[in-house]
Structure 1
Amino acid sequence: MRLKAFAALVVAGVLWLATAVWTPPAWALTPIELRDITYGPCPTEVGEGAVTSGGMSLDANCFLVTGKAVNKSGKTLVNADIFGRIYDANNNPILQNRTRLGSIDEVPPGESDFELRISVPANQPTPLQLKQFKASGFTGTVRRY
């Protein structure tokens, strides 16, 4: 019985020592500043479209939201989610109950351009109001299960 306890103690000590010497990289969520955010109509090749909800199809306008992504981490970030709120000219939300607007596949260190395509129901008046934009990404690949 003492031999088993001693063996367990040795294994635990080796594991502790191994993790003290080498630790796997932390792939934590890293904030990304978004600035100079603006929007404009989509080029014709990007698309005209429709907004569908509950089986109904509504006319929609296509817009490209563009801006600068500022990555101060010093590492390339991947799978960055973009969050924000978009309102029409009457302060009505464009995407009701949804703040995740899209993603950026890769954000290198420093400042880089980004663009995001959105579809807005044709009956919502412009100009659009873009508020509370931010993003966050990972320093390593996130696996989808």
Structure 2
Amino acid sequence: MAVDESSRHLLYEQAACALGTEAADVLMNHLPPAGWSDLARRGDVEHETALLRADLTATIAGVRTELRGDIAYLRTELKDDIAYLRTELKDDIAGVRTEVKDDIADLATRLETLRADLMAGMVTQTRWMIGVITVMTAIFTTATLLGR
């Protein structure tokens, strides 16, 4: 027979009449709020706990396996990316090194051209000064000879 609120109330009233209200209250407090079939035994709880523990263990093992696979994949991907960046960086450094060498060679050529132009200018200026000094010497010599 299923226990419902009306049958619980009827039991309480009869217990109160037979035992008194205080004893009826104690009796009702010791009875389960629903039927006895709704109560779990210690064995039931232990069995469910074991099932839950096994399920959690399997889930954790699966997550560990999945994480290990993901970490291995990321490690491989990271190594590949680092190798690619290393190669790219080496190529960039080689390109910069070539550009710097070319720039230095260009500067050396321009410096040599500038030195040659400076030397040519100095030679021209020296010849011009020698010519001016020679003309001035001739003028002074002529003036000295005429002035005597």
TM range (shorter): under 0.3
Higher gyration radius (CA): 2
Q: Structure 1 or 2: larger strand share?
A: 1
Q: Output the TM-score relative to the length of structure 1.
A: 0.21
Q: TM-score, normalised to structure 2's length?
A: 0.21
Indicate the structure whose relative CO is greater, using CA pairs within 8 Å and at least 6 residues apart. Answer: 1
